[in-house]
Amino acid sequence: MRSEFAPIAVALPAGIPVRTSVRHPREHTSRTGLGVESIVAGAFVCATRLLTCVRARWLECESTDAPRIYFANHASHMDFLLLWSALPARLRRKTRPVAASDYWHQGALRRYLAIRVFRSVFVERDNPDRSANPIAPLVEALDQGESLIVFPEGTRGTGEDLLPFKAGIFHALCTRPDTELVPVWIDNSYRVMPKGAVLPIPLLCTATFGPPARITRSEEKTAFLRRMRERLLALRNA
Amino acid sequence: MNVPRDAYFVVAALAGVLIVSSLVGLLLHRHATGETRATVNNLNSRILAWWVIVIVVGGASLAGRNVLILLFALVSFFALREFITLAPTRRADRGALVASFCLILPAQYGLIWIGWYSLFTIFIPVYAFLILPILAALSADTNNFLARSADMLWGLMVSVYCISYVPALLTLEIPGFQHRTVLLIAFLLIVVQSSDVLQYVSGKLLGRHKIAPELSPSKTVEGFVGGMVCATLLGASLWRITPFSWRQAASMALVISLSGFLGGLVMSAIKRDRDVKDWGHSIKGHGGMLDRLDSICFSAPIFFHLTRYFFTP
């Protein structure tokens, strides 16, 4: 599966009021019962488990129902599926990926997967005129009690190191400072399916959930992003 | 494949052993205190995993030949996945790895399914041995080339080739033992796995002297001797479900347990080299699939060829 999970590369003044954004008509369909979509989603989870036997390690971190932002290292198309499959089913149902709107609206299959199956929250990567507040959909999802998965590096790296973080989560947190940020280190996904690979290789993978953090009052953007990046890196060898 | 009546007795006997051990585990759990708690908990999760293994393998054996071959193909898949996870493969090996998982593994089990003896015994040692380094060379990355190729081949040999010898036992045509070859699998698996368990138990009860501290800190001389003696006696007592006399069954059991023990040492050496305690985390209490299979990998081919040499025309 091809995916592009969003770099949220936007520069906004902190603390802006949130306006409602224009939504895709089917964007917020929540999944209830045993629809076709939940069967497809279940098939993806099963396939991910068969391929990677993904194991969740919760270090000083409980799996709770409160809306959270999971942020993880990004090296492979498998990353979202790994993190999502590692979550307990109860949390998975209310955890949504943040995805790039331009990429995921191309083609019927991608649209179907992104909107109906994974219920992605879309952000505009190219938003030169600032016509809509790009982080509004994120804040809205958090307000509805749902958790988000973001990859703050913005693009897939080599798997060995972390790229500098983009500021998207910072801006979302400035408007919702009570939201917990959970670092998740995903191990081995770049070996399963690195950038440019067509077929995945079956290998064992681990998702390590670290202690949740919050943004502190008066914390500056670069300092906050550096702190979060270090928290994520600390999980690499934990 | 008609299921021989003995197979039902074997499954029932195993269920009996598991019920007794579960009860003992429950009793121990009630009386365990302090530091013994962890050992007892580990013992109980092992027993629970044994229930799953016996139900899955026993069910597949009763379900027939196709299901059994498919089950071991899956087991090989999981084992190879664990082995390759710990191998220092590089980006350039992807072609060879895709070929290993998607072509070589299914082909090996396909050959066993059609019973082509002269090809399934050489397919991986000859053809995979040649094809994998060719694929790796074509990707033009010479970094640690030989080590990488050797790692992938070892993975295939241990997790696919050796394990496939278990269902390959079904292809043996032993006079007077037609339609009962599934019992050879039962004999092999019961002797190997009981040998592991009996070594573990006698090691825990009597263990004083470490037998190979650099490789496996938990293996002791007392555990080794106790395990070998008990497994040989057990094998001899199982002679009725085999084509062997009781003396032959005892010697087979001894050879199986001995090669299983040595295989366990070899696989431990690889784990120590890779700096891990377990191969994976798929079986609770046991570690990974390969932690449970290491002794089978080494005993299955030996058992197959001994049986074929001495007992088929």
Least confident of A167-181, B70-84, B171-185: A167-181
Q: How many CB atoms neighbour CB B34 within 10 A?
A: 6
Asked if residue A31 has pLDDT above 60, the reply is no
| Nearest-neighbour CA in chain A from B168: distance (Å) | 25
Specify the pairing of strand A206-209 against strand A180-187: antiparallel
The alpha-carbon gap from B63 to the nearest alpha carbon of chain A, in Å, equals 23
CB-closest option in B85, B91, B98 to A204: B85
- Torsion on CA atoms B133, B137, B142, B144, rounded to nearest 10: -10
Chain B residues whose CB is inside 8 A of the A55 CB are 281
Six-digit token pair at A203?
């290998």
DSSP assignment of B221-255 equals HHHHHHHHHHHHHHHHHTGGGSSS-HHHHHHHHHH
| A201 has pLDDT over 90 | yes
Query: Which chain B residue shows the shortest CA-CA distance from A194?
Result: B91
> What is the reported pLDDT for A126?
66
C-alpha to C-alpha distance for B63 and B49, rounded to whole angstroms: 21
**What pLDDT is recorded for position A34?**
62
Could you tell me what percent of chain A has a pLDDT over 90?
A: 34
- Residue A127 is predicted with a pLDDT of 62
**Cβ of B97 under 8 Å from any chain A Cβ?**
yes
Nearest-CA residue of chain A relative to B94?
A201
Supply the pLDDT for residue A129. 59
* ipTM value: 0.84
Place of tokens 């702190």: A227
* Partner residue facing A188 (CB), from B85, B98, B282: B85
Per-residue model confidence (pLDDT) at position B305: 96
Percent of chain B exceeding pLDDT 90 equals 59
Q: Kindly report the nearest CA distance between residue A238 and chain B, in angstroms.
A: 14
Helix (H) or strand (E) holding B297: helix B289-311
Q: Round to whole Å and give the CA distance between A13 and A10.
A: 10
Among A76, A162, B202, smallest CA distance to B211 is for B202
Q: Which residue has the higher pLDDT, A215 or B125?
A: B125
Rounded Cα distance, A102 and A86, in Å: 27
Who contacts A169 (Cβ-Cβ below 8 Å, separation ≥6)? A8, A69, A71, A150, A152, A181, A228
Q: Which amino acid is at B53?
A: I
- Asked if residues B58 and B11 have their Cβ atoms less than 8 Å apart, the reply is yes
Give the span between the Cα atoms of B40 and B25, in whole angstroms.
7
pLDDT for A131-141, tens place per residue? 667 788 888 89
> What's the pLDDT score for residue A17?
41
Alpha-carbon distance values, B297 to A49, B148, B166, B192 (Å):
25, 21, 9, 10
pLDDT of B200 above 50: yes
Whether A10 shows a pLDDT value over 60: the answer reads no
Mean pLDDT calculated for residue range A112-120: 90
Question: Distance between CA B115 and CA A153 in Å, rounded?
Answer: 53
Instruction: Say which range, A16-20, A34-38, A218-222, B40-44, has the weakest mean pLDDT.
Output: A16-20
Does any CB of chain A come closer than 8 Å to the CB of residue B209?
A: no
CB nearest A202 (choices: B91, B94, B101): B101
Q: Residue B89 and residue A191: Cβ atoms within 8 Å?
A: yes
Rounded mean pLDDT of B76-80? 95
Provide the pLDDT for residue B186.
92
